[in-house]
Homo-oligomer: A and B are copies of this chain.
Amino acid sequence: MLVLGVDPGSNVTGYGLVEKKNHQLTCVHFGLIKPPAKAPFYQRIYHIFRGIEDIMAHYGPGEMAIEDIFYAKNVKSSLKLGHARGAILVAAAHRGIGVFEYSPLEIKKSVVGYGRAAKEQVRTMVRVILKLKEEPALDASDALAVAVCHLNWSRFATLTANPRHEGSRK
Residues of A whose CB lies within 8 Å of any CB of B are 40-43, 45-46, 49, 69-72, 74-76, 78-87, 89-90, 92-94, 99, 101, 165-170
Contact = CB atoms under 8 A, between A and B. Distances in A.
A10 to B, nearest CB: 9
Contact of A71 (B49, B75, B84, B169): B75
A131 to B, nearest CB: 32
A42 B83 contact: no
Count the copies. 2
B78 A42 contact: no
B75 A45 contact: no
B83 A89 contact: yes
A90 B93 contact: no
A86 B80 CA distance: 9
Nearest to A170: B41
Contacts of A45: 86, 89-90, 93
B86 A40 contact: no
